[in-house]
Chain A
């Protein structure tokens, strides 16, 4: 079911509608529920092992966490701007913006892999202690979502290149793909302070 609409219509106060496909929103809610369970599991375990979590967190670099955050958020901006360009019938620009979103997401991937490599090199693997078990599970699960999101961004960039989002055609697929990417951002803004800073 496509329930997209143009901002011009919305700003005129004619209708309040959800961008993208309803199925994508249901999928997003399901994903958020799973992440919610993991986040609360992390928080509750931290409550039971507060000193262990505080000491283990010292192995993480909050500056790296900030760079990871900025990479994802900037990618989200480019993806959102791409949707605006498609609505304005400028698919070429949208394609370039989606590529920029991919590059920015690539920064996140490179930094995260460096962090994973650094921690693994120090011996802080999945079985090192409870903190690192949850760290690898939680951030690893999110990392897989980033990779899937990048595949979607690449697919949509190619669709823009071949002119698949021409005026008069449905844009709900593009909107839904970008919504998924924003969901990845939304999860990260909660994960970042919880894993790197709080406690």
Chain B
């Protein structure tokens, strides 16, 4: 698959996940829904770091380091909601 097609697929995934985030938010407020929204945000972060930022081609250290940020943020926010 060409790099441009990969980018377009990443973008499409990001759009769908963004719409999904708002849909989840419209369902109400609960811990499960909040967890779902944070999981969706993590999916979007992965598409950006591995797709747009091309970290899928980078050494594992950098890949883990950059994805570690959204993971830490989502985990931290989740803990405050418990």
Contact = CB atoms under 8 A, between A and B. Distances in A.
Interface of A: 5, 7, 10, 16-19, 25, 28-29, 32, 36, 39-40, 43-44, 46-47, 54, 62-63, 65-66, 69-70, 73-74, 76-77, 80-81, 84, 179, 182, 185-186, 189-190, 192-194, 196-199
Contacts of A192: 18, 21, 41
Range of interface residues on chain B? 35 or more
A62 B11 contact: no
Contacts of B3: 7, 84
Nearest to A183: B53
Interface of B: 3-4, 7-8, 10-11, 14-15, 18-19, 21-22, 24-26, 29, 34, 37-38, 40-41, 44-45, 48-49, 51-55, 57-60, 62, 65-66, 69-70, 72-74, 76-77, 80-81
Nearest to A199: B29
Contacts of A10: 57
15 contacts: A32-B69, A39-B76, A66-B19, A66-B22, A73-B14, A76-B48, A77-B8, A179-B53, A182-B48, A182-B53, A189-B45, A189-B70, A190-B41, A197-B24, A198-B37
